[in-house]
Structure 1
């Protein structure tokens, strides 16, 4: 009887657990079809703005530079590992030769024992034995060998054991070398992929968009130059204050010591050794201005950022590591306000770019693919991009 009062089931379907009338269902279906059509044929309004393109290109160059430093690290590791493998293989070859000579000597001992009347298997049996020790034990010859012959047997076992160890080391080093080579290929492919994507984006810009992009870049350079001038003023003011303090200290000292025949120098103390080295490094860096940035390059015709700083300080007699990741730890960290010509300035949280400071808020660096070694403000990519300053010597 209760079923007579049951409400009729409404028509329609369920969407996400909610019952919808047939009319609403039709509307949803139409919206879905329109959405699919829009996705299939995007309108011109979907084209990214110039600012979005600029940010994307900058991000791709940054990612390429990160991959470049990873490539540099993998290349350095591969080079070192290859040298180690070659040395181990040479060592194994030399030991194998000694082992063969020792085996021949033991074989001659066995033959001599046989000629003297001892019951011994032939040479083939000796060579097929698990070890010469087993052979001599089985034929009861060890007791009849001279001390010199017994020493030769001991030397053989020692050489055999060391040869096996070196072979294992060589095998492991070959495996590590293979891993390093794979890392090298991956990093190289990543660099090429990022640079190709950046070039593709830039090639799709119209002439008007390229002109606007150049104008935006010029504005950034002007702001960077303004910030560099501010830093230069701050550093000059600090130097003047230090000189005045040194002058005051020198005058006070001279007044107190009337017996001194010559006054103290008023020049503030400086590290002349560092200054001399820095001048050599900067002279080298300046001579590279105009040469192209090429990822993975260390000169003399082209450079990447860390390749340039490494080569510059090498000219001053200071050996720096290859990558930015290691160069940032190869010296004493100082504040940007205290930076001296020759100091290394590192950029970004992942420390993937470096330049060499020349003073007055400026540096020499190899910026990015498509660019050339040049002088530029340390604020070329904004103040927040500066990671640290390191004095390498």
Structure 2
């Protein structure tokens, strides 16, 4: 049985004049123009969509920084290992030279001339020279390797700083949108209870109409009804998160953003997938909507900025947006871009 649709977000900048007009209309007992409410709804939806896009970009930037930090750390470890080896070889070379000095430092040619067994002396001298030459070659090679590692480390450090700057820019953009969200919430609060109910009603109607239109195509007779074993585990995980709040960049266990929920759901099923909805759309296998099955991920909007897990019966489970909670809703309540399959 399908659960009732919960209201999504109300997305808009804080249009003070509009808020005042709506409040005044309520105080006078007049009903706000439905067209005006539709415009309010559209603005609010637009703002929260921008917020989700910003979150996805920040998550992607943060992932690149983390990967580059690990790469830089590996370079530092390689340099330390090369330095330890150089120190050890230099010490051995020094000990060999000291031993030769204590032995009188007799040149190989003189050892050959004075030896009772010239052949053996020649062999020993050749081996000593070869060992010395090999040591010098290895020292030179290690110094070259260390120098190359330092160059690569410097380049990696510069790239890390660039990525961190990009992440800071994403964080700044996200903060700006968060301020807009606060303004949107202020606008939402300014609406009288009756007006808020009408706004929610409009959204429910639009969602139901979109779902009805989608189902009228006969799509639910075409899509699969059986999930794979991994898909069932992913769905079970997602369903258990229902009621937990949406939080920017969260991956659980107490809160999630949209792609944080889907990536953790599939991780619980033993499958690692990309962290963001854009990367999930770009890297996972695409399947036609009519061929999707429970456990598949539905990607929404032309910029792939939202994702949900299909749980069957025409419904999805998703983390919708700031101020809302993980919930189950009709799959076609938002504009579908396509479907991807994690366990392909």
What's the Cα RMSD here? 3.0
The DSSP-based 3-state class of the residue aligned with 1:369 is: coil
The DSSP-based 3-state class of the residue aligned with 2:82 is: helix
Pair 1:172-2:159 in alignment: no
Alpha-carbon offset, residue 235 of structure 1 = 3.4
After superposition, give the CA deviation of every residue in 1:23-69 in whole Å (9 maximum; x if it has no partner): xxxxxxxxxxxxxxxxxxxx968978655444333222111111111
Report the Cα distance in structure 1 between the residues aligned to 2:222 and 2:63, rounded to whole angstroms.
41
Report the Cα distance in structure 1 between the residues aligned to 2:194 and 2:225, rounded to whole angstroms.
47
| Contiguous gaps of at least 5 residues in structure 2 | 1-15, 22-35, 108-125
Q: 1:327 aligns with which of 277, 280, 304?
A: 280
Q: How many residues align?
A: 295
Report the Cα distance in structure 1 between the residues aligned to 2:40 and 2:106, rounded to whole angstroms.
90
The DSSP-based 3-state class of the residue aligned with 1:379 is: helix
Pair 1:163-2:146 in alignment: yes
Equivalent residue, structure 2, for 1:26: none
Report the Cα distance in structure 1 between the residues aligned to 2:19 and 2:178, rounded to whole angstroms.
24
Over 3 Å counting, the alpha-carbon distance change for 1:150 and 1:220 in structure 2 is same
Equivalent residue, structure 2, for 1:251: none
Equivalent residue, structure 2, for 1:353: 306
Over 3 Å counting, the alpha-carbon distance change for 1:54 and 1:70 in structure 2 is same
TM-score for the superposition, normalised by structure 1: 0.67
Over 3 Å counting, the alpha-carbon distance change for 1:161 and 1:214 in structure 2 is farther
Q: Structure 2 matches for 1:42-81, cutoff 5 A?
A: 51-81=38-68
Segments of 4+ in structure 1 off by > 6 A?
Answer: 45-48
After superposition, give the CA deviation of every residue in 1:159-213 in whole Å (9 maximum; x if it has no partner): 1111111111111111111112222222122112102112113314564456424
| Contiguous gaps of at least 5 residues in structure 1 | 1-42, 120-142, 240-269
Task: Report if aligned partners of 1:328, 1:346 keep a CA contact under 8 Å in 2.
Answer: yes
Higher RCO structure, 1 or 2 (CA under 8 Å, sep 6+): 2
Over 3 Å counting, the alpha-carbon distance change for 1:153 and 1:206 in structure 2 is closer
Q: 1:372 aligns with which of 322, 325, 328?
A: 325
Over 3 Å counting, the alpha-carbon distance change for 1:205 and 1:225 in structure 2 is closer
Greater mean alpha carbon deviation, residues 169-178 or residues 197-206: 197-206
Report the Cα distance in structure 2 between the residues aligned to 1:111 and 1:81, rounded to whole angstroms.
45
Report the Cα distance in structure 2 between the residues aligned to 1:314 and 1:184, rounded to whole angstroms.
25
Equivalent residue, structure 2, for 1:96: 83
Report the Cα distance in structure 2 between the residues aligned to 1:277 and 1:232, rounded to whole angstroms.
27
Equivalent residue, structure 2, for 1:149: 132
Report the Cα distance in structure 2 between the residues aligned to 1:309 and 1:217, rounded to whole angstroms.
26
Q: Structure 2 matches for 1:211-360, cutoff 5 A?
A: 211-229=194-212, 231-232=214-215, 234-238=218-222, 275-360=228-313
Equivalent residue, structure 2, for 1:386: 336
Equivalent residue, structure 2, for 1:128: none
The DSSP-based 3-state class of the residue aligned with 1:328 is: helix
Over 3 Å counting, the alpha-carbon distance change for 1:188 and 1:316 in structure 2 is same
Pair 1:85-2:68 in alignment: no
Task: Report if aligned partners of 2:48, 2:181 keep a CA contact under 8 Å in 1.
Answer: yes
Q: 1:201 aligns with which of 148, 161, 184?
A: 184
After superposition, give the CA deviation of every residue in 1:230-266 in whole Å (9 maximum; x if it has no partner): 5446134447xxxxxxxxxxxxxxxxxxxxxxxxxxx
